Amino acid sequence: MSDAGYVRSHSEHGITTIEFYHPKGNSLPLKLLDSLANEIHYAGIHDSKVIILQSAGEGAFCGGASMDELAAIKNENEGILFFKGFANVINAMRKCNKFIIGRIHGKAVGGGVGLVAACDYAIAVKNVEVRLSELVLGIGPFVVGPAIERKIGSAFSQLAIDAHLWRNSVWAKQKGLLAEVHETVANMDESIQRIASGLAHSSSVAMAEMKKIFWQGTENWDTLLSERAAISGRLVNTEFAKQAIAKILAK
């Protein structure tokens, strides 16, 4: 495994599995965000019928934005470019004409919650917790917000406002963020394979039409998420944000 992390894809029996990894809690620097968006786009236009999105390891599912990369942002343009990375991933998931099943094996924070929300069907194990920590950093969940709000409605504001509180898998399932929660990893993986295998034998045309319906009303997201990235790009350069990020990195 590279210290810089990776994004890898593997296709078999009509199922494409896309896996990402980063040594710091599966956090996402811009390079991995770009690779993730590209792999999702590629899988959407090639032969497989369904996509499984997962991360490696047994710790966090996704630690959100790379703190090291946030700290290295020097100006507003660099900030906008970074947050557009998350916008591109969310939009790739939205526009992909294949269902994306999320394998959620651990904690998801910040942008990681956005990834969970953008999955068409998220399957988790019971120790999963979610948290939107952006306000602590002096920014906000602007880019991933539309995907989360689309999934859980007004509960999005609860996550966004109480940026210190982890919500457990029971809460996440009740709100609709998670489709299934399993007692063990083995049970989670069994369910993922069962559903993926079923979809791999289903009509690609029917599933593509269903996905259009599920995401109806999001046709303006190319523009919307770009505008949201501009907000985050501006805020990450404020003195408050710089001090908050430095404080976390110093721990």
**Residue at 100 is within a domain:** yes
**Residue at 119 is within a domain:** yes
Residue 51 has pLDDT above 50, yes or no: yes
132-137 own/partner pairs: CB under 8 Å, 24+ apart: 132/159, 132/160, 132/163, 133/64, 133/109, 133/163, 133/164, 134/110, 134/160, 134/163, 135/160, 135/161, 135/163, 136/163, 136/164, 136/244, 137/70, 137/236, 137/241, 137/244, 137/245, 137/248
Residue 127 has pLDDT above 90, yes or no: yes
Residue 209 has pLDDT above 50, yes or no: yes
What confidence tier does 4 reach under pLDDT thresholds 50, 70, 90? Answer: confident
Which CATH number does the domain housing residue 141 bear? Answer: 3.90.226.10
Kindly state the percentage of the chain with pLDDT values over 90.
Answer: 97
Residue 2 has pLDDT above 80, yes or no: no
**Residue at 77 is within a domain:** yes
Q: Tell me if residue 123 falls in helix, strand or coil.
A: strand
Residue 1 has pLDDT above 60, yes or no: no
Q: In the chain, how many domains are there?
A: 1
What domain range includes position 68?
6-200
What confidence tier does 3 reach under pLDDT thresholds 50, 70, 90? Answer: low
**Residue at 205 is within a domain:** no
CA distance 196 to 101: 8
144-200 confidence digits (pLDDT tens):
999 999 999 999 999 999 999 999 999 999 999 999 999 999 999 999 999 999 999
**Residue at 223 is within a domain:** no
54-64 confidence digits (pLDDT tens):
999 999 999 99
**Residue at 31 is within a domain:** yes
**Residue at 176 is within a domain:** yes
Say what the pLDDT of residue 106 is: 97
* Surface-to-core class of residue 202, CB atoms within 10 Å of its CB (0-12 exposed, 13-18 middle, 19+ buried): middle
CA distance 50 to 196: 6
Taking residues 106-132, report their average pLDDT. Answer: 98
**Residue at 220 is within a domain:** no
Taking residues 207-234, report their average pLDDT. Answer: 98
Kindly state the percentage of the chain with pLDDT values over 70.
Answer: 99
Query: Is the entire prediction scored with pTM above 0.75?
Result: yes
Residue 17 has pLDDT above 80, yes or no: yes
What confidence tier does 251 reach under pLDDT thresholds 50, 70, 90? Answer: confident
